[in-house]
Structure 1
Amino acid sequence: MSFSNAKVLSTAPLANDDAKWAKLVMLTYTDPKNQERTFESAERSTRPEGYGIDAAGVIAILEKPTGPELILQKQYRAPVNKVTIEIPAGLVDPGETAERTAIRELKEETGYVGEVVAASSVMFNDPGFCNTNLQLFHAKIDESLPANQKLETNLEEDEFIEVFHVPLNNLYAECKRLEAEGCAIDARVGMFAEGIECAKKFKLLGA
């Protein structure tokens, strides 16, 4: 496998009837002054019926003797035509909770077995463009467990993921370095790095 092989070959318009994962809709709404307006929006077609969350992501940290390290992954994403730096994440399946999705995706994409210890609020990815959202989960990983001794992933046929770890203390600088190499930084990773830098700067929680 080589990410250098991955590239967009062409682009073309896509009708909603031909789309599997998403659709475009025209919204008609009233603004705070009760004036009627319209807005173009994108929506996922995969959100489980009766469930308000599209996807789950995992903040999984390995507690190393040299300091905590965040589990990240490289994955080519055609919409940006770049290798992106991401946390493990995936869509919620029908009949599944977002928490269960998080643990499943962590195992499938990285091989690690983890335990959820905290959950974020539901985050909306780009509310000026679409209604898609995601919930983040913090996972505790016990590296002494037999299941975490020999890591085995279970990727889809069209998934190509490279897993790596970054010391939390160096996450901001590492994002800058990877961007300079041509990678795209996923917003969740970038904002996590920004949060760590803010904690350092303003000496929050002893950072």
Structure 2
Amino acid sequence: MEDLGKYLKEFREEKGIEYITVYSDIRLREEQVKMMEENRFFELGPYGVVKATVFNYARYLGADLDAVMNELKILVPETTKNHHKPSPPAKQKKIMLSTNFLWSIGIIIFVLILAGILLHAYKQGWLKTPEILKSSQADTLKVEPATAPEPVKVMPDSTRLRMLELNQEINKRSQDKNKTKSNPSTKTNHQDDTDYIDKFMGDSPMNVEGQ
């Protein structure tokens, strides 16, 4: 047998078997059958898979199994059973994060750590106000001297003054009349100098201020 793939193809065509028929009968896809007919056995998979697939297909066609398997050992020796094309590994989906987002997370973490350190130092009393700030704060504070309250000026009551003037005028006139009517040798009249206004209106603001 010079060409195993050609032998299998001619055997299938002589029997008039289509690719779809092969798939329906033994579940071998058209691609797999073409790999065997083109002597691309390594593409079928590992050595065990190649051997089982060729044996199953040759038996289905009714070919000489011994001749087919012997030829397969020549084309695909057992020492090359691991030289098949490895199937490409499934690509893992990677979550791509933006560089700015990563930087933002890093900055936030740094700020939180720094804030925690400063808070701990403050609670422990390690943080003190610099001397420069203390002196500047002392300079800004000015003590204003205490000022004495201004005395309350009591304005004289104009109405009360008028009443006092009238009272004095009345007393003066009554005193003059008494002098003219009475004899100064027999009777002495006492002047009524009672401040009736003071009894009704209370202490005068002027008297209070004078005291």
TM-score (norm 1): 0.19
User: Which has the greater radius of gyration?
Assistant: 2
Bigger helix share: 2
Bigger strand share: 1
TM-score (norm 2): 0.18
Which is bigger in relative contact order (C-alpha 8 A, separation at least 6)? 1
